[in-house]
């Protein structure tokens, strides 16, 4: 038996138990009403003794069936079928005892038919419905033949029989929809359970500790890493519990009302041998306020930072050594040739040494600019004034090769010196790579979605597809004489000013785009 069929059978059993309890209550109430009202309403009962005997037997049978269904959880389908057999027979006899259908008995019949459609399969429910129709209609014919009843209520019985069929059909439609909803709900619950298991597995495997607290500073969720770092028992599968009972040191340190998202602090507990770094994150959850504490071993973090620094220093040193080796080799070679050369060759070799020395100086200067991490001093720059002045002051030798297209009244917040250095690098790169037959490059400044875009575009060959991913990496250059630090520094300066520098592919040429938030004046 599949899990879904077990789930469906369990639902049927619980519904059947509730229906059985309802039958017991109804039979007891009908008997009580009869005993209390019989002296005043004896004319309403054609056969009062039959009514009393049937009700008494019905009460006994409903109580027995309720106890049997509750205690003997076997043959559930057969037990449910017997419930409706007893109901139909009992209600038919009660209808006969009152000389035909009346309102409250008709309503009980309808409820029985509807419940049978819910709790039994379609064929059994149809059989119960047809038996109910036969009992209601043909009991009048049998009574008239045996001369103990008349056919005066035949119309009411026919209407009631028709109502049974309508209720059965409506109930079957409702059951199909209910089954579709139940299957969907079951599938969703399985998927949710699967995702919960995946999340639990992930939380159990990672080394970072996670502690989720509610507004009362109770632990809602914790993973084994958090419990291990804090010296707490592993309570991942437990219900929520107060933090002060398991980690009072952390509880006393937390000013829970004042915690802000992104806040960091370190602490050490008597329960744990670890020095722990805590990062606070506020979680947005429906109808509750949750706080996530991300816990990590501070000593391990410091070791990782040192390792990263050493790795970066090693990569930087190797890159510098690689970049300086070529000009040094050229200088050594030129120096070796210098003593035995004539005047013209000496002049050429001296020029080569001078050029290679300048190149080494550029590499060192760019490297220093990269590692100095200069402090940024952003200010509001009105681009309509700033860029033309910048071209006139810093690019006077090539300003006739620059076409400027700028929308008016655009401003950004940027460090002026760093923006100048970025634009100098981009513009001179564009001039160097521009098509010789094209007389100018373009600087286009415009606004889009409350952001300012500064495009520096040339009309050369563009950047090869295989090189685009490495454009902003340090020491990457497609030129023999390039240091490979210009674009890297420009990219770093943009990030320091909360802006973005990216390469935008063109049909012809290359375009580098600076995107910055538009400043409010």
Q: Cα–Cα distance between 485 and 370 in angstroms, integer?
A: 8
Residues 18 and 165 in one domain: yes
Residues 488 and 412 in one domain: yes
Residues 218 and 74 in one domain: no
Residues 174 and 224 in one domain: no
Residues 13 and 161 in one domain: yes
Rounded to an integer, the average pLDDT of 92-114 is 76
Return the closest-CA partner of residue 393 out of 420, 433, 366, 431: 420
Rounded to an integer, the average pLDDT of 18-46 is 80
**Nearest 5°: phi and psi at 124?**
-65, -40
- Could you list the residue range(s) of the whole structural domain that residue 165 is in? 3-187
Give buried/exposed letters for 348-386 (b at 16+ CB in 10 A, else e): ebeebbeebeebbebbeebbeeeeeeeeeebeebebeeb
Find all residues with CB under 8 Å of 303, minimum gap 6, and list them. Answer: none
In a domain, 196, yes or no: no
Render pLDDT for 370-418 as a digit per residue (tens, 0 to 9).
556 556 788 999 999 999 998 888 888 888 899 999 998 899 999 888 8
Residues 24 and 152 in one domain: yes
**Average pLDDT over the chain, rounded to an integer:** 79
Residues 364 and 397 in one domain: no
Rounded to an integer, the average pLDDT of 151-171 is 68
Residues 293 and 438 in one domain: no
Q: Cα–Cα distance between 86 and 92 in angstroms, integer?
A: 10
- Number of helices and strands in the chain (H, E): 15, 13
Q: Cα–Cα distance between 129 and 353 in angstroms, integer?
A: 108
Rg (CA), the chain: 44
In a domain, 197, yes or no: no
- The number of domains in the chain is 4
Cα-based angle 89, 135, 146 (whole degrees, multiple of 5): 105
Higher pLDDT, 494 or 308: 494
Last residue of a domain, one of 155, 187, 219: 187
In a domain, 12, yes or no: yes
Rounded to an integer, the average pLDDT of 67-85 is 84
Measure Cα distances from 391 to 136, 420, 447, 480, 493 in Å. Answer: 102, 9, 21, 27, 19
Render pLDDT for 106-138 as a digit per residue (tens, 0 to 9).
778 788 888 888 788 878 888 888 877 777 766
Residue 225 contacts residue 206 (beta carbons within 8 Å): yes
pLDDT at 146 over 50: no
Residue 363 contacts residue 388 (beta carbons within 8 Å): no
In a domain, 319, yes or no: yes
Model pTM score: 0.40
In a domain, 266, yes or no: yes
Q: Is 292 helix (H, G, I), strand (E, B) or coil?
A: strand
Residues 227 and 284 in one domain: yes
Residues 405 and 500 in one domain: yes
Residues 216 and 112 in one domain: no
Residues 397 and 449 in one domain: yes
- Check which CATH number belongs to the domain holding 335 and give it: 1.10.287
Last residue of a domain, one of 281, 300, 319: 300
Residue 47 contacts residue 96 (beta carbons within 8 Å): yes
- Check which CATH number belongs to the domain holding 409 and give it: 3.30.565.10
In a domain, 334, yes or no: yes
Rounded to an integer, the average pLDDT of 255-269 is 76
Last residue of a domain, one of 274, 300, 326: 300
- Check which CATH number belongs to the domain holding 278 and give it: 3.30.450.20
Residue 276 contacts residue 230 (beta carbons within 8 Å): yes
In a domain, 386, yes or no: yes
In a domain, 49, yes or no: yes
pLDDT at 104 over 50: yes
What pLDDT band is residue 148 in, cutting at 50, 70 and 90? very low
Evaluate the CA torsion angle 189, 194, 200, 206 in order and state its sign. negative
């Amino acid at each position: 038996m599949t899990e879904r069929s077990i789930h469906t059978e369990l639902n049927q059993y619980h519904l059947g138990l509730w229906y059985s309890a309802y039958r017991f209550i109804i039979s007891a109430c009908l008997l009580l009403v009869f005993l209390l009202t019989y002296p005043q309403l004896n004319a309403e009962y054609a056969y009062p003794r039959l009514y009393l005997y049937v009700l008494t037997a019905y009460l006994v049978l409903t109580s027995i069936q309720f106890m049997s269904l509750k205690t003997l959880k076997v043959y559930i389908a057969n037990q449910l079928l017997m419930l409706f057999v007893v109901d139909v027979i009992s209600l038919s006899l009660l209808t006969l005892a009152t000389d035909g259908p009346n309102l409250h008995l008709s309503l009980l019949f309808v409820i029985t038919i509807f419940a049978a459609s819910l709790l039994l399969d379609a064929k059994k429910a149809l059989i119960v419905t047809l038996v109910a129709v036969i009992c209601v209609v043909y009991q009048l014919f049998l009574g008239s033949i045996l001369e103990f009843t008349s056919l005066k209520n035949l119309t009411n019985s026919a209407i009631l029989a028709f109502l049974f069929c309508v209720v059965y059909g409506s109930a079957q439609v409702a059951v199909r929809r209910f089954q579709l909803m139940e299957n969907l709900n079951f599938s969703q619950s399985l998927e949710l359970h699967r995702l919960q298991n995946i999340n639990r597995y992930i939380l159990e495997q990672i080394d970072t500790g996670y502690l989720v607290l509610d507004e009362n500073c109770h632990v809602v969720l914790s993973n084994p890493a958090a419990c291990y770092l804090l010296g707490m028992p592993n309570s991942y599968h437990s219900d929520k519990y107060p933090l002060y009972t398991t980690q009072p040191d952390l509880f006393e340190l937390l000013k829970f009302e004042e915690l802000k998202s992104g806040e960091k602090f370190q602490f050490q507990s008597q329960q744990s041998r670890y020095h722990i770094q805590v990062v606070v994150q506020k979680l947005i959850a429906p109808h509750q306020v949750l706080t996530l504490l991300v816990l990590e071993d501070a000593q391990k973090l410091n070791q990782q930072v040192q390792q990263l620094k050493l790795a970066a220093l090693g990569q930087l040193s190797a890159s510098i050594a690689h970049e300086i080796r070529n000009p040094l080799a050229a200088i050594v070679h030129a120096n070796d040739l210098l003593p035995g050369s004539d005047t013209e060759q000496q002049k050429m070799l001296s020029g080569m040494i001078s050029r290679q020395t300048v190149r080494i100086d550029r590499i060192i200067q760019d490297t220093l600019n990269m590692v100095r991490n200069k402090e940024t001093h952003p200010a509001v720059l009105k681009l309509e004034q700033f860029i033309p002045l910048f071209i006139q002051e810093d690019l006077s030798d090539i300003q006739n090769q620059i076409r400027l297209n700028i929308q008016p009244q655009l401003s950004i917040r940027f460090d002026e010196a760093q923006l100048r250095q970025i634009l100098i690098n981009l513009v001179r790169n564009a001039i160097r790579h521009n098509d010789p037959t094209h007389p100018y490059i373009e600087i286009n400044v415009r606004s889009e979605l409350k952001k300012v875009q500064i495009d520096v575009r040339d009309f050369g060959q563009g950047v090869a597809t295989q090189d685009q991913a490495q454009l902003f990496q340090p020491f990457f250059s497609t030129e023999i004489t390039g240091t490979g630090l210009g674009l890297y520094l420009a990219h770093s300066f943009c990030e320091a000013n909360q802006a973005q520098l990216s390469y935008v592919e063109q049909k012809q040429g290359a375009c580098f785009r600076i995107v910055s938030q538009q400043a409010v004046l």
